[in-house]
Structure 1
């Protein structure tokens, strides 16, 4: 077993600013909001009327003009998306939104990750030309597709780029570019996901069509808010920071889902995940619907996911979701096999090095699946608390890798350093950001790349990783272990990236324990400060690592959730860290 430094537990501190939150707000929510920098009622305003105007997002006017002209002229529009959940929801939103505004010829194309890789490449443009589009609209990609946009222009096809990723030094020669990272310094929604950017472009396009009296001749003006559940799913799945604008979009989408007005496809995905749409929150989207949608892009073709999202009726949506559920089960099986193999490889390598472990883990296995290496890298990063780069075979002798990092090591910058030091001889392509990246190597470059990667990582972080840090909201009041408090917290979000779900820290005595689902530890606990209270708890994937006895004292970091079983709701602790004492 490889030793990793024990976690540090820290408590969030409330903002120093004066508290302008509503007087009616329960104390526990006031404390939670202030600890996340929210000190005004305006920051909790999630009505559609408080959305920033599309005109504040640079490029929307030009994009809207181009799209409105295409719609009114009956031109053929091809939406080019991406093979993750943000890309799929963006594609579905663009298709449904343009059709609802009267576009008569809308099609979509998503690159298969195993054939084309990411984005609007020249090779994908060659496929797109077979559809004979007059205009290409990219969603959740395109900002770095200079060659692809040039290839489209050479073929007489204009391109409108909508994206949210960081741009390169040179922008593509598109007809219009809408990206919060390009200009838009005064725009409040700087952290929009690709689907959020697409939604804003559709709003601007509708306004342009309205001004041209397009909707006045017996053609109804669409209510684009009907598609906000797609925006919510893509935003949560892409783990973008939930600033006020993103929280607004997610909350509006969740309200539609809970009221039964959601897209049939999202309803079907939640049903397949065993999540009740009427109770849906951001966690249900992120850990229920999103993995099933992503399974299509990981193992097959994201077109299946998009067809689920644009399905017009519940029967079709349920059939598609059933296929996605089967793919997701296959993905979980592959992930478990790959993770177990990787753990064994890391342990064996550590034994050969007298227990030492490199500051970054770099692994390749010819039997691994390239659609799953990203998840495996993430799991290994959590287990060993080290950055990880995991590779699987690609095409034409290439190997494709997915990287996950830890705080203190910027992954994209690290790959750039490796590429620079090797003078571009090892890495064929790479891209990403601080915490995640993707890259491609020639098959015979792995060992040289691994050596140089470890060398560059050691220069930046030394040999030992930093201890994991849990930022908590402290111990809840002794009387807060109730269904009422759990329900209050559940719907007080939406919680997510940069607006984290409340995580508490407290001490308990174990009343009982048992293993459920082969891997998980089910507990009954009593808080030391409330010994007469017994509350259910579950620690996922902990059954093999921890054995507890009745009466034993434990320290835990946890979330207070609502567990529904056979129609009965009870409070439950979701344990993220557990230490016997």
Structure 2
């Protein structure tokens, strides 16, 4: 048995609706299931989801406050007033700022932009920047991706004579800033039909409203910000992402071209390229320094400058990666040193950790330990700790921090992520309280990750044509994840580790004569738990593998389970001691030696195998059959006492059977005739008789013992003698004959059979084989 690493939560799908979509749209059953699972229930909605065009964008003036914002900017442009674009330092803020800069250029505005420093100014609109803007002669400040909580700052802007326009997408507070205009789809009573735009999406809508036409050339930047900000890729976000990704393939923006080059992106651009290539490089500037260079890259018209900025972003990203690796390693060591009662929620803190990357480190801790995690950077000079939190399903981090509000002067966020500031001396108390809350709120199952399974199918459904249809669901991201598919009861037909560090698994699955290639990245640790021809349930993603201009279906393995008993075929192993040592450190195992000689030898080694024990009838999950049993009953007693047996390792350190086969009835007759004629046969004469009858001495001895067992012969220390005449008896009435026959049958079944036959044979002796098997031994 191999247990899955995660809890599989299978999406319930209305099969009638799925069948209707399949028939109406002429699509595969699998694609129809996935559409219904994503809440798409009509052919019209499905066509819009799978297609999407420029005509599907909503009217930007449906955003409450857009009329006033556009009117004020147009008036400022007409009168030559100075406009300050106020942005943010993450990827969404950078792209929002860049979109607004391109927009103001096209509109002929007099403007500058400003992005606060993460380390000296912190997040959001700040009073110092507003004062400086007023002193510099600006009359309008327009924010992007920030400002919705700037109540005090809005009051100051009024006092300074600044008209403040806020464009944002974050959750609004109970009291909105008293600004000239507030544009946010989440604003109370805003009629905009889609509420989940990213900051870059709101900026894009503003550009559309101000310029009068949809700004096609800004779609690519809007897509980068939308995907990098991890907003839900549905509705208009999906449209921005889908059309923007297409635009990225043919971009003429020097900054975008340079960024693609340092990311190694050629040809088709996917959400993956942004999430793991472009986004991290843009974010690196704001995490380590200021975000200016990323903005300059997107807005420059000079290819050489763009390439220089892109290389600098790439260098900063490498520096960021090294920094994250170093801090993550330190944080993991702190976790490993924690007492058990402090590991329900991981709270780690250290002096000097870079505040710009502690959120990434918190995510690393969640990924490694699957526990809610808070990583804090200590500033001992000010006696403060500033941290980032990431959580798991079932533990609402924002609510947990609210429970600790008395020791948290500043905190904010949502159920899965948050930030906070507190006194350095309160860190132990925060750790204690959060662990207490976790003990109340979470169960043991909550500490096992969840994998949402979108659909279940047979291997035969995973065709190249179906997978190509599934590609229409892209781009994938939050709210529209890459579909996770469950295929049950597949045979593992091929299995090997690959990669420079041999940490990936290449495999092949088979079901009903159909095969499918598979690959599991960083899953080599599970390869040791598997054996060829295991019957597994697999969860993963269907993809197209393109190689040498050939396209083949492929399964990207994410998790697997092997239900029931696994049988490992270790027959023929030369170094059995080393093989057994491979089990050391895993779940405790039992080793069974049926033969006394082997048992004595194993007892001498057992001290070096700290997880292995020699008691054959004690319960275990792992059992090693070291040698051949003498009878079916011995095998029954060894396996029948294991109600929870998961893995059975077959070494069978066989002692060659003295008889390769049972002598024929004719050979029995020939030996008996000789004894009958001479009335006695000395033990020393057995080799001569064997030579004369073309038998082995052991075969002659076996025949003599069968006759003695049947009462036809007597035996003493010197010889076998003819017994008094008795009634005729069949050879099969002899226990000696039956035991030898049984031993030979067992040898054939256990040593010379195929793996499939061996597995089927052994499963007949386990308690897991339902209904309870019939006893197939003879019960002597």
1:94 paired with 2:100, answer yes
After superposition, residues 324-403 of structure 1 pair within 5 angstroms as 324-349=313-338, 352-353=339-340, 356-393=341-378, 396-403=382-389
1:249 is matched with 240
1:558 is matched with 540
1:469 is matched with 450
CA deviations 1:162-184 (Å, max 9, x no partner) are 11111112111110001111135
- 148-157 vs 471-480, greater mean Cα deviation: 471-480
CA deviations 1:84-122 (Å, max 9, x no partner) are 11111111111111211221x222111111111100011
Q: Say which of 235, 256, 261 aligns to 1:266.
A: 256
1:416 paired with 2:402, answer yes
Hey, what's the Cα distance between the residues in 1 that align with 2:495 and 2:357?
A: 36
Q: Please give the secondary structure, in 2, of the residue aligned with 1:234.
A: helix
User: Is residue 299–residue 331 contact of structure 1 (8 Å, CA) maintained in 2?
Assistant: yes
Q: Please give the secondary structure, in 2, of the residue aligned with 1:403.
A: strand
- 167-176 vs 385-394, greater mean Cα deviation: 385-394
1:116 paired with 2:121, answer yes
* Residues 28 and 427 of structure 1: CA distance in aligned 2, closer, same or farther (over 3 Å): same
1:448 paired with 2:429, answer yes
The TM-score with structure 1 as length reference comes to 0.87
* Residues 233 and 480 of structure 1: CA distance in aligned 2, closer, same or farther (over 3 Å): farther
- Give the number of the structure whose alpha-carbon radius of gyration is greater: 2
2:470 is matched with 489
Hey, what's the Cα distance between the residues in 2 that align with 1:193 and 1:170?
A: 21
Hey, what's the Cα distance between the residues in 1 that align with 2:456 and 2:443?
A: 34
Hey, what's the Cα distance between the residues in 2 that align with 1:569 and 1:129?
A: 60
- 109-118 vs 267-276, greater mean Cα deviation: 267-276
User: Is residue 60–residue 200 contact of structure 1 (8 Å, CA) maintained in 2?
Assistant: no
1:304 is matched with 293
Hey, what's the Cα distance between the residues in 2 that align with 1:63 and 1:94?
A: 13
User: Is residue 56–residue 184 contact of structure 1 (8 Å, CA) maintained in 2?
Assistant: no
Consecutive unaligned residues of structure 1, counting only runs of 5 or more, are: 208-221
- 289-298 vs 10-19, greater mean Cα deviation: 10-19
CA deviations 1:132-174 (Å, max 9, x no partner) are 3221111111000122222332222221001111111211111
- How many residues align? The count is 550
CA deviations 1:249-288 (Å, max 9, x no partner) are 1111112123x03633333323322232x31122222222
Hey, what's the Cα distance between the residues in 2 that align with 1:292 and 1:517?
A: 26
Hey, what's the Cα distance between the residues in 1 that align with 2:98 and 2:225?
A: 10
The TM-score with structure 2 as length reference comes to 0.66
Hey, what's the Cα distance between the residues in 1 that align with 2:548 and 2:127?
A: 53
* Residues 15 and 310 of structure 1: CA distance in aligned 2, closer, same or farther (over 3 Å): farther
1:146 paired with 2:127, answer no
User: Is residue 241–residue 496 contact of structure 1 (8 Å, CA) maintained in 2?
Assistant: yes
* Residues 143 and 348 of structure 1: CA distance in aligned 2, closer, same or farther (over 3 Å): same
- After superposition, the CA RMSD in angstroms is 2.8
* Residues 468 and 262 of structure 1: CA distance in aligned 2, closer, same or farther (over 3 Å): farther
Q: Please give the secondary structure, in 1, of the residue aligned with 2:409.
A: strand
1:334 Cα deviation from its structure 2 partner: 1.9
User: Is residue 120–residue 149 contact of structure 1 (8 Å, CA) maintained in 2?
Assistant: no
The structure showing larger relative contact order (alpha-carbon pairs under 8 Å, at least 6 residues apart) is: 1
* Residues 474 and 434 of structure 1: CA distance in aligned 2, closer, same or farther (over 3 Å): same
Hey, what's the Cα distance between the residues in 1 that align with 2:411 and 2:549?
A: 48
CA deviations 1:462-488 (Å, max 9, x no partner) are 677343221113444424555554444
1:238 paired with 2:208, answer no
Q: Please give the secondary structure, in 1, of the residue aligned with 2:431.
A: helix
* Residues 113 and 579 of structure 1: CA distance in aligned 2, closer, same or farther (over 3 Å): farther
User: Is residue 359–residue 463 contact of structure 1 (8 Å, CA) maintained in 2?
Assistant: no
1:406 paired with 2:392, answer yes
User: Is residue 418–residue 456 contact of structure 1 (8 Å, CA) maintained in 2?
Assistant: no
